[in-house]
Amino acid sequence: MFEKTDLRVALDTARPLFGELQKQYQKLPPTRCNCQTPGICCAYLPQTTLIEALQWIEILRQLPDPEKIDNLRSFVSFYLTNPVQHSGCPFRKQDLCGIYEFRSFACRAYGLWSRSIGDGRTEQSRWERRRLLAQWKRLGLNLPAEMVEQEIDYCDRVECVSRPAVSDDRLIAILESIYRMDQNLHHHRKSFEADYHSDFSFWMTSRVLGLRKSVLMKFAVIKEIVKQGKSKRLTAILDKVTPDVLE
């Protein structure tokens, strides 16, 4: 688990690497999406590497307290209500990315993978959501299928603007380079991946509630939403969010 001292140490180690992270991002071609529904692909928060997650924390820490709290509440709400509510990526503001310059590799590479890999990943995601439906059923909650079956077809409307398209092998090589940047954060990376499943929203929620209570509260909040259409617990939890979550 990440304690306060762990976050400070991880940030101190990661800061000198943020410039190199941006250089890796710049190896990807600039893109333009010709989709008629911009922002639809931002329905979920992608998994990130630890170095990317730490960069996001650094960005959030620089915001004024009201914006900081607003963003943190969005992440906590996203974690606790997903999959029964689809508010979209917490960084999405009016169908635009609020941190476009610092968006993760997963966001940048979306639409660049070959159709076979893109379709395969989409189908894998749909399978995982069907499995999620079964897991909640075993816990005594029958979630309406439409609550979890929201995965859109893989996007074929992304085009490269000023450089040729990149191959799958090239995308994998860039991702591996980014992942290797975590090597000096080995202990912290293991915690981020094992404890929080590389889920930034889970990590932020755990900094508010603690790891175990975050999992328990997710079940309680979703149960309230399914049974009552709203959740008093969620409101009470969001009231607990303070800027020191990022300290």
Note the pLDDT tens digit of each residue in 38-72.
Answer: 777 888 888 899 999 999 999 999 999 999 999 99
First vs last Cα of the chain: how many Å apart? Answer: 15
Alpha-carbon separation of residue 201 from 75, 81, 218 (angstroms): 5, 11, 12
Helix, strand, coil percentages for the chain (3-state, nearest 5): 65, 5, 30
Share of the chain above pLDDT 70, in %: 98
CA–CA dist 81, 87 (Å, integer)? 9
Amino acid at 151: E
Question: Quick one: tokens of 75?
Answer: 């992440």
CA–CA dist 155, 16 (Å, integer)? 34
Beta strands of 25-157 (E only): which ranges?
A: 31-33, 92-93, 96-97
- Entry field: residues in the chain: 247
Note the pLDDT tens digit of each residue in 224-234.
Answer: 998 898 889 99
